[in-house]
Chains A and B, each alone.
Chain A
Amino acid sequence: DAGVTQSPTHLIKTRGQQVTLRCSPKSGHDTVSWYQQALGQGPQFIFQYYEEEERQRGNFPDRFSGHQFPNYSSELNVNALLLGDSALYLCASSLGPVGDYRGEQFFGPGTRLTVL
């Protein structure tokens, strides 16, 4: 059973560019959350998708957007990249909508984004 997968593993971009990160949830999961983890910090919640809609959002600007597809996979898009966007981007999958606890969030290995 494949766990959460993310692509690409590493990415290098320059300021002002746009980036798309991809996530496939664990088999049987229907909810995807995205987190940003700066070096030496804990993950920060970006947003969560369920039934192809954004259900919760953290304190991130509109430059961060996402999408969930009918097969539950998800994309994170970041526009107008800043140096401060350099971080490990983690995808977590789970089952059920916000507040409906039916299991833990399983994290993928992350995509390491470097903005030069």
Chain B
Amino acid sequence: QKEVEQDPGPLSVPEGAIVSLNCTYSNSAFQYFMWYRQYSRKGPELLMYTYSSGNKEDGRFTAQVDKSSKYISLFIRDSQPSDSATYLCAMTKTGANSKLTFGKGITLSVRP
């Protein structure tokens, strides 16, 4: 069993839709949770960062962490074609500066 599992894709939605991306993990030592966005032929770019359980909102993006269920989610409201990319969840035990353990990634396509 992989430490981090991410819902398989690809995912295609119409512009304006609400998108829900999810990951589960098995290691209860993970405390810091991140979502990265990766465009084709680019490196990952940090979107959201959350410590422990709870919600965090930034514009159209909301990250949720449920440590009791070992489950994290990223919601994208009013999705735009520019949101089309691969989304990777990542987590660490000791801080965003430390070894990141990534999910496999899911490719999102937002149709105009």
A interface with B by C-beta (< 8 Å):
4, 31, 33, 35, 40-45, 48, 56, 58, 90, 92, 94-110
Chain A residue, CB-CB nearest to B6: A42
A109 near B97 (CB under 8 angstroms)? no
Residues of A within 8 Å of B105, CB to CB, are 40-42
Chain A residue, CB-CB nearest to B93: A99
B interface residues, tally (CB under 8 Å)? 26
B interface with A by C-beta (< 8 Å):
4, 6, 32, 34, 36, 41-46, 49, 88, 90, 94-105
Chain A residue, CB-CB nearest to B98: A98
Instruction: State the CA gap A95–B98 with chains docked (Å).
Output: 10
* Max count, chain B CB within 10 A of own CB: residue among A35, A42, A44, A48: A42
CB distance from A101 to the nearest CB of B (A): 3
> What 8 A-B pairs come out closest when comparing CB atoms?
A42-B102, A107-B43, A101-B95, A99-B94, A45-B99, A94-B97, A104-B46, A107-B44
Residues of B within 8 Å of A44, CB to CB, are 102
A4 in contact with B43 given A41-B105, A42-B105, A99-B94 (CB within 8 Å): yes
CB distance from A34 to the nearest CB of B (A): 11
* Max count, chain A CB within 10 A of own CB: residue among B95, B97, B101: B97
A100 near B43 (CB under 8 angstroms)? no
A105 in contact with B94 given A40-B104, A43-B44, A110-B43 (CB within 8 Å): no
Chain A residue, CB-CB nearest to B97: A94
A-B contact pairs, 12 of them (CB 8 A): A42-B88, A43-B44, A43-B100, A45-B100, A48-B98, A97-B97, A98-B97, A99-B94, A101-B32, A105-B96, A105-B97, A107-B44
Residues of A within 8 Å of B94, CB to CB, are 98-99, 101
Instruction: State the CA gap A56–B104 with chains docked (Å).
Output: 22
